[in-house]
Amino acid sequence: MTAASIAKDLRAAIRSGTYKPGDRLPSEAALMSNYGVARMTARHGLSMLKDEGLTVTRHGSGVFVRAFEPIVRDTTGAAVGDSTVTAETDETGAGLTVRTLAVTAEADPPEKVRTTLGLADGAKVTVRERLHLRERKPVLFATSYLPASIAAGTPIADQEVGPGGTHARLTEAGHAPVRFREDVVGRMPTIEEIEELRIEPGTPVLSVTRTAFTQDGTPVEVSYVVLDAGEFMLRYDIGG
């Protein structure tokens, strides 16, 4: 019962404000003597808080109370900042930087993508991979798939899509996306995501599958977006 009770005490202290975001918690050695327990027990108590996302540990330095100052991502997929911003721009109002990692003009789609886009066997897709950074820390990773029959040969298949992003290019090509579906799940990150987004232990990710449709209901883009849940709030405005 002791590891759990250490966690309970510290949790209560954090909630009550005894320890504020950024503050250092007692060291393992301190907990050992305060509670008269073995080191592994003190450690286990602290690790519970880490698993709950309440704390972050810094090797050689200490255990600190975590803060949450989310980036608000609105319905359009843009981060909400000072002014209206669009996705795919270099700098959003929320201090986000977008880095285009890779663009492939023609690739074989994963089966899931092929069926979502309603493509024939053997049809190719254009793939865009992007990483969003907040003050140099990666916070969002997105992979978009578009039918190569639409995207190849347009700026969508280039490293730089130009002003307005892929949606502007799609519109110019007569495939204006007007309807979107976002499916959101929360889960713990994979090892790859932990490395890619440098995710703190105890932090889940939000996994968003976004599909864009034209007026006649044809899907023109499917995107898989993984967001560090410690950095984001998703905002959906419905109706009006």
Partner DNA sequence: GAGTGGTCTAGACCACAAT
Partner DNA sequence: TTGTGGTCTAGACCACTCC
> Which residues 47-86 are close enough to bind its own copies by CB under 8 A?
51-54, 68, 70, 72, 75
Binding site partner of 239, from its own copies, DNA, none, Cβ cut-off 5-8 A by kind: its own copies
For 192, half-sphere exposure in the C-beta direction (CA atoms, 13 angstrom radius) is 2
From the CB of 16, what's the least distance to DNA, in Å? 20
Establish if 110 lies at the interface with its own copies (CB under 8 A).
no
Tokens 């007692």 locate to 26
CB 223 within 8 A of CB 142: yes
Cα separation values, 209 from 96, 143, 184, 212, 217, Å: 21, 10, 7, 10, 17
From the CB of 200, what's the least distance to its own copies, in Å? 11
* Stretch 142-181: interaction string toward its own copies, x if CB under 8 A: ------------------------------------xxxx
Nearest C-alpha neighbor of 149 from the set 172, 178, 120, 176: 120
- 161: region left, alpha or beta (phi > 0 left; psi from -120 to 50 alpha): alpha
* Cβ neighbours, 10 Å, residue 214: 18
The residue among 28 and 106 lying less far from DNA, judged by its C-beta, is 28
Establish if 35 lies at the interface with its own copies (CB under 8 A).
no
Establish if 240 lies at the interface with its own copies (CB under 8 A).
yes
Binding site partner of 235, from DNA, its own copies, none, Cβ cut-off 5-8 A by kind: its own copies
